[in-house]
Each structure stands twice: as C-alpha cells, then as structure tokens.
Amino acid sequence: MTAAALARLVAPSGVQITLVESEAIGTVGVGESTLPHIRAFNERLGIDEAAFMKATRATFKLGIQFENWGQIGGSYIHPFGDYGAPGGEAPFHHYWLRGRELGDVGPIDDYSLPVVAAREGRFAPPSDDPRSLLSTYRYAYQFDATLYARFLRGMAETEGVRRIEGRIQNVAQDGESGAITKVTLDDGRQIEGDLFVDCSGFRALLIEQTLKAGFTDWSHWLPCDRAVALPCESDQPTVPYTRATALEAGWQFRIPLQHRVGNGYVYSSAFIDDAAALDRLVGRLEGKPLKAPNVLKFTAGQRTRNWAANCVSVGLSSGFIEPLESTSIYLIQIAITKLIELWPTAVIDPATEAEFNRQMDLEYVRIRDFIILHYCATARNDTPFWDYVRTMPLPDTLSEKIELFRARGIVQDYREGLFLHPSWVAVYLGQDILPRRHHPLVDAVSATQLMSSLERLRRMVREASYKLPSQDDYIARYCAHLPL
C-alpha cells in the first residue's frame, strides 16, 4: 500500500522509491476485513473497483455483526451508516429512546438500512441523493489480503517503483544524528536512502530494532495476545458483513470472501492455551480447512514514536490493536496519508516528526478506547476472561465517554479520529448501555406523531432493503472473480 501510494502521489515530484521485500520471510498473511475509508484510498490511486474486487476475490461489507458480547445470546450489527432517515433536530437514537418509553418500537437495528440489508444478505451501492434512505450507508470490502498486496505491487512496479527481493541483514546509522543511512541485504547489496518507511511487520526492523522508538503496552486493557487463523470452504451465500463472536477467552472472526471464508480465534494466552484455542476454532468451522493453522503472537499497543529520525513506521511495525473493528489496514492508510501530507524536505525537522506522531497517537488512542468498550460493556461473568475485562480499570478517556452516554445519550464529539457518532451508538446500545434520559429537543414532537413516524420509518427501511439485490447476485454481475 505504501509503495503504490508513494509511486502514484509522491514520485511525480522527483522522488525515487525502492521497495525491499523478502519472499522467504513472507507477510503475516491475515487481515481481510476493511473499513469504508479504503475506498477513498483505492480511488486516489486510480484503482478500478470491479477489477480490484475480481483480483482480490472481494465481497462487500456493510458492517460487523457482534454475537454474545454484551451478554450470551446478544446480537447486533455495527453498521457503516446511520440510524434513521436524514434530518431531525437531535440524533435519531434520542427519538428511538423516547419511543421506547412510550411503547414497543423494536430494536434500533430495525431503523438502519445497512443493518437490515446486511442481515438479509443484500447489497447495492448507496445513492448520491442525500434525501434518500439509500444514502444513509457506506461500504467497505472483505478481501484476500495477499492478493491485494500482489495487486498493489503490480501497480507500484508499473509506476516505476524499484522492487528488490532480499532479506535485510544490517542497518547502518549516521554516527552523529542516528539517522538511518543504508540497509544491507544478505547477499551484500546495499541500499541507501534519505527517508525509510518501516513496513517490516511485527519485527519493526528499523523503527524498533534499530532506532528503539519504544512501545506503549496496552495489554492490561486488551489482554488478547494470540490468534490462530484458518480459512475454510463454505457453501453458504456470502453475507455483506464480518462476524465477531465472543468466546470464552477472546473472540472468533468470520470473513466471507468470494471463494472461501477467513476464520480466526483471537484469544488471551493467560486464559486459554494454544491447543485448546485451535480445537475450539476447528470445532466451529463451517467447512473443510484450506490451509494449516497460522498461529500469531502479538502485544496490544503502539510504538511510542511512530516517526523517529528519518524513519516512519507503517503497519504492524507501528503497533497493533486486535482486529475486532478491522482497524489495522485503516491505520496503514491513514499513516500513508499523513506521511504524504507532511512529506519532508531533505532536512527532516523535528516539528514534522512531532506532528505526525501527535496525529497517529490520536488515531491509536481513539481506536484503543473503542475496542476496550466492547470488552467492558458486558454482563458476561461466565469465564475468568470475561470477569477480568468486565471489572478492569478503564482509561479515563473512555470512562468519561461512557458516563456521558449513560447519563444523557450524548456521544462525545471529536474532530480527528476514526469512529464517529453512529459507531459509538451501535456499540453502546448493542451492549446494553442505555442512557437514563433522552435529549429534551425530541419532546417537541408529540407522542402520537413520534410513534407513527417511527413505525413509518421502520416500514420504509424494510421495503428499501427488500428492493436491493442479494450480494451474490450483485457480485455475479459486477465483479465475480475469473477462474484461477
């Protein structure tokens, strides 16, 4: 992603880009579920959507379904879109909250077109008309990450990136400034550079092994530190959502692609051992496994400085927050975007580094808090893992947000950062954090008018969803992958 973006957006100004990769080391090989922002990234690179979806066996994604999180048996979808129809003086959930006080209005999910369409396996692209219900959602993709990397590598090479196959063995630094001057490969080749982007994954070869940028450990809030991934066959229709099912010591992901389903159990090794986690995952597969299981170890947290000297970390080298809300590829994209916005001159001034780090810290911390919310907002007390996360002390930044929502139904607003209003509402309400009071502005509507509007809206959402094609039909017409 970095090489392709820099080739397209920075190279025209006279910058030469070299990509060093090692097929012997390979990539982490997981990471298949994305957020809607990736569409802007692809568009900026001039990628044709249908061609990209064919090449990566992609499906559409309207949200994430959470099973058994707030309580066993609980289920909700965090949609990529709004609740309610466009308009209204207060956010829609306040109207819904007042409706609940007056009578049976059903779950808030019934008022979200992306949720209803996702549950029914339907998909069509949103409308541009802001008055239409069909404009109330966005979408992302579920794709084969290895194929996406191959697709982008092809693009980057076409755009003039020099790709070198080889394993970096040594990293040289300037004796005075500490800046990286060159890397040496195992066959002795040397590659010099002015700016180095560390995309070496969990190894963090340049940013940590060389520059010792530090790591802020968040595992006391996010105790999952392992994952076992195992793709399998499926004969089910593809659904336009990723599923995250809470299990006894973590959670399982299910990501439906055109040709297979990606599965994994993300767990805490303090509460379950590797063999038991693998057994649990295998026991829950819907079809024949397609590979040997891939066990990954990690620590939740962030590189203390994402940019240090003349090195910028992008991807897993910059930190890791478990993939519960599919945020890692987004963090790659945002790091690339910020790097391009702050593209340095020949002399890298400390202010640039500080600004990049400030912006990345905000992104990371906000994602961290949002992920912790999924664990702490629970009534589950069935295993020691759930007892731990339910009762752990929270970061102040998150406690304040939860208290404001519990008291007033108000979502703390911020300008920079990923998850906006509807996402927080989805998880709060989906995991049973119910505000004590609705917003007073909604009292302007009479009780009768409110109840009939809610009923009409619910019907409109049902009807709008019913008119959409099934995702499988849409894919078959638009972007079915060609036989290999």
Ligand X SMILES: Cc1cc2nc3c(=O)[nH]c(=O)nc-3n(C[C@H](O)[C@H](O)[C@H](O)COP(=O)(O)OP(=O)(O)OC[C@H]3O[C@@H](n4cnc5c(N)ncnc54)[C@H](O)[C@@H]3O)c2cc1C
Q: How far apart are CA 276 and CA 260, in angstroms?
A: 24
315 binds ligand X (CB under 6 A): yes
Least Å distance between CB 33 and ligand X? 4
Residue 323 CB, shortest distance to ligand X, in Å, is 3
Residue 259 contacts ligand X per CB under 6 A: no
CA dist., res. 50 & res. 474, Å (int): 11
Q: How far is the CB of 213 from ligand X (least distance, A)?
A: 15
H/E stretch holding 170 reads: strand 168-173
Got the DSSP string for 192-260?
Answer: E-SSEEE--GGG-TTTTTTT---EEE-TTT----EEEE--B---SPP-SSEEEEEETTEEEEEEE-SS-
132 binds ligand X (CB under 6 A): no
Count of residues near ligand X by CB under 6 A: 34
- DSSP letter for each residue of 380-410: --SSHHHHHHHHSPPPHHHHHHHHHHHHH-P
Q: How far is the CB of 30 from ligand X (least distance, A)?
A: 4
Question: In whole angstroms, how close is the CB of 18 to ligand X at the nearest point?
Answer: 12
Q: Which of 180, 218, 185 is nearest to 312 (CA)?
A: 180
Give the nearer residue to ligand X in terms of CB position, either 94 or 138: 138
Distance CA 404, CA 416 (A): 19
Judged by beta carbon, residue 226 or residue 439, the one nearer ligand X is: 226
Find the part of the chain contacting ligand X (CB under 6 A) among 31-39, 42-50, 380-388, 403-411. Answer: 31-39
- Note whether 11 and 17 are within 8 A (CB): yes
Which stretch, 28-36, 88-96, 171-179, 359-367, contacts ligand X (CB under 6 A)? 28-36
Residue with smaller CB distance to ligand X, 40 or 407: 40
Binding of residue 3 to ligand X (CB under 6 A): no
Q: Is 337 helix (H, G, I), strand (E, B) or coil?
A: helix
Binding letters toward ligand X, positions 218-257, x by CB under 6 A = ---------x-x----------------------------
Distance of closest approach, residue 482 Cβ to ligand X, in angstroms: 25
Q: Which stretch binds ligand X (CB under 6 A): 327-335, 382-390, 392-400, 439-447?
A: 327-335
Q: Give CA separation, 141 vs 33, 54, 156, 234, in Å.
A: 6, 12, 21, 18
Is 164 one of the binding residues for ligand X (CB under 6 A)?
no
**Residue 324 touches ligand X, criterion: CB under 6 A:** no
| 325 labelled ligand-binding | yes
Q: Choose, by CB under 6 A, the member of 62, 161, 205, 454 that binds ligand X.
A: 205
Active-site residue set: 61
Contact status: 329 vs ligand X (CB under 6 A)? yes
H or E element in which residue 476 lies: helix 471-478
Residue 50: which of 483, 478, 481, 482 has the closest Cα? Answer: 478
Does 272 help bind ligand X (rule: CB under 6 A)? no
Please give the residues from 64 up to 93 whose contact with ligand X meets the rule CB under 6 A: none
Task: Establish whether 205 is an annotated binding residue.
Answer: no
Instruction: Decide if residue 121 touches ligand X (CB under 6 A).
Output: no
Phi-psi category of 188—alpha, beta or left, where left has phi over 0 and alpha has psi -120 to 50?
left
Of these, 5, 156, 171, 199, which contacts ligand X (CB under 6 A)?
Answer: 199
- Distance separating the N- and C-terminal Cα atoms of the chain: 23
Closest distance to ligand X from the beta carbon of 460 (Å): 32
**Interacting residue with ligand X among 74, 88, 201, 289 (CB under 6 A):** 201
Please tell me whether residue 30 binds ligand X under the rule CB under 6 A.
Answer: yes
What are 55's two structure tokens? 């090449």
Q: Write each residue from 394 to 423 as x if it is in contact with ligand X (CB under 6 A), else as -, in one continuous string.
A: ------------------------------
Which of these segments, 325-333, 383-391, 393-401, 413-421, binds ligand X (CB under 6 A)? 325-333
Q: 412, 28, 361, 5: which is closest to 200 by C-alpha?
A: 28
Residue 403 marked in a binding site: no
Element (H, E) at 297: strand 294-297
Ordered alpha helix ranges (H), 309-394: 328-341, 350-376, 384-391
Pick the closer one to ligand X by CB: 53 or 133.
Answer: 53
Residue 79 or 91: which CB sits closer to ligand X? 79
Binding flag, residue 277, ligand X (CB under 6 A): no
Does position 358 bind ligand X by CB under 6 A?
no
Residue in the block written with tokens 């099934």: 470
Contacts of residues 337-345 at CB distance under 8 Å and 24 or more positions apart, as own/partner, are: 337/41, 339/197, 339/312, 339/314, 340/5, 340/6, 340/9, 340/10, 343/10, 344/195
Query: Counting Cβ atoms within 10 Å, is residue 417 exposed (0-12), middle (13-18) or buried (19+)?
Result: middle
Please give the residue ranges that form the binding site for ligand X (CB under 6 A).
Answer: 20-22, 25-28, 30-34, 145, 167-168, 199-201, 203, 205, 227, 229, 264, 266, 296, 298, 315-317, 323, 326, 328-329, 332
Annotated binding site for FAD: 316, 329
Annotated binding site for 7-chloro-L-tryptophan: 61
Annotated binding site: 61, 316, 325, 329
